[in-house]
Structure 1
Amino acid sequence: MSDLPDDFKCTITNWEYIYDLCRTVSTQVKRDDFEPDVVVALARGGWFAGRCICDFLGLNDLTSLKMEHYVGTAQKTGEPQVRYPMPEGSVEGKDVLIIDDIADTGGSIKRADEYVRERNAGEVRTATLQLLGTSDFDPDFVGERLDEWAWIVYPWNFIEDMIDLIAGVMERADQEAFSRAEIRRCLSEYHSVERIEMEIAQPNRLGEVLAEMERRDVIESEGGKWRLV
């Protein structure tokens, strides 16, 4: 389980913001005159960035490397490990750009860099859309540097993260049933997720998340309130 405190800060992002970070990384790659033959996107967070960067750089060769580090919202498994090896020969003799969404400790992208180099790649560079100040690894290209630690909720895992966050605050709060307003209050209290921030980044989606939590038997509704199952 995570060693984070119960009240860790979260920041919610949207597609446009992340797309701009992909453009920033691609611009840095071009300015550095690095011309990769293949982009290796770390699964799952790096998939969107990998595809966008291929578009920006005019590349067709995109492959994936699955690292296992986080198994849930802010829940680490320990040292990052390669879960699914890349196809044999997929990077051999090729210049490679490795991309991930974020470097927290930097462990995942550092291990990916080592793994790719072990497979006889040519020149290898690394990139992340966001880099936290807690990272021990400094990628070659960074879309944005964040001094303050926060759990970043990306558009591609918005529902997944919000389910974990909402279930967590409902479990910790001293009451059995919660209205929408009370859920929002707990998200603000425990994770600094303010209503206006969430509505700007992901408008009108709390109801969607609650409905999905019901579908997955995480919560049940009664009289306009929800409780954990």
Structure 2
Amino acid sequence: MAGALDDSGSSVLTETEREVLGWLEFGEAARHLAGEVVESGFEPDVVVAIARGGLLLAGAISYALGIKSCGALNVEFYTGVDERLPEPVLLPPMLDEAALKAKRVLLVDDVSDSGRTLAMVVELIRASGAEVRTVCLYSKPHTALEPDFVWRKTDRWITFPWSALPPVTAGE
């Protein structure tokens, strides 16, 4: 992805190269996606987030759908802007797969970029004997797995409101 270089020589994306999501728009998107799930006739028993990116969206959608049964699966894939590990990696704590047997699962993530994380987790959940549908705020044109429900499609790098700033450090 094109962009200027900062003082350290790292790539810096300009605003025109980014899709920027604000908190208010996030709330509208979550409600819209919950409406699409309802309109489809799919009635999830449980909402599962792919952490960390899917945590806030999963919470918002579970509230909008009135579903109290929620869980998360920790997956690491991205290490920086457009930088990934060779394969997605599951991190502890692990999801209780046995609890998903014969359930209808709504799997939630922030974006289906390559689609590899989403595909890996879908297969994991299906292997537990559950029916699964996927929902993401965004999908990219080159994704290997198009979510069942998606709010927007973009080919730009996405700045989410929860990860727009660096981590808080001591003394701030």
1:88 shift after superposition: 4.5
Q: Which amino acid aligns with 1:82?
A: L
Matches of 1:213 and 1:91 in 2, distance apart?
38
Work out which of the residue numbers 160, 164, 167 in structure 2 matches 1:158.
Answer: 164
Alignment match, 2:116:
107
The unaligned stretches of length 5 or more in structure 1 are 164-211, 217-229
- Aligned partners of 2:82 and 2:133: how far apart in 1? 27
User: Counterparts in 2 of 1:51-200, with a 5 A limit?
Assistant: 51-84=59-92, 85-121=94-130, 123-146=131-154, 149-160=155-166
Quote the sequence identity (%): 30
TM-score (ref. length: structure 2): 0.84
Q: Secondary structure at the match of 1:136?
A: coil
Structure in which a larger fraction of residues adopt helix: 1
Q: What TM-score comes out, normalization by structure 1 length?
A: 0.64
Q: Please give the root-mean-square deviation of Cα atoms over the aligned residues, in Å.
A: 2.0
Q: Is the 8 A contact 1:81 1:111 kept in 2?
A: no
Task: Give the partner amino acid of 1:155.
Answer: P
> Any gaps of 5 or more consecutive residues in structure 2?
3-10
Quick check: which has more Rg, 1 or 2? Answer: 1
What is the alpha-carbon distance in structure 2 between the residues aligned to residue 11 and residue 215 of structure 1? Answer: 31
Query: Residue 113 of structure 1 contacts residue 124 of structure 1 at CA under 8 Å; is this kept in 2?
Result: yes
Q: Distance in 1 between matches of 2:86 and 2:110?
A: 19
Runs of 4+ in 1 over 4 A off after TM superposition: 212-216
Residue matched to 2:20: 12
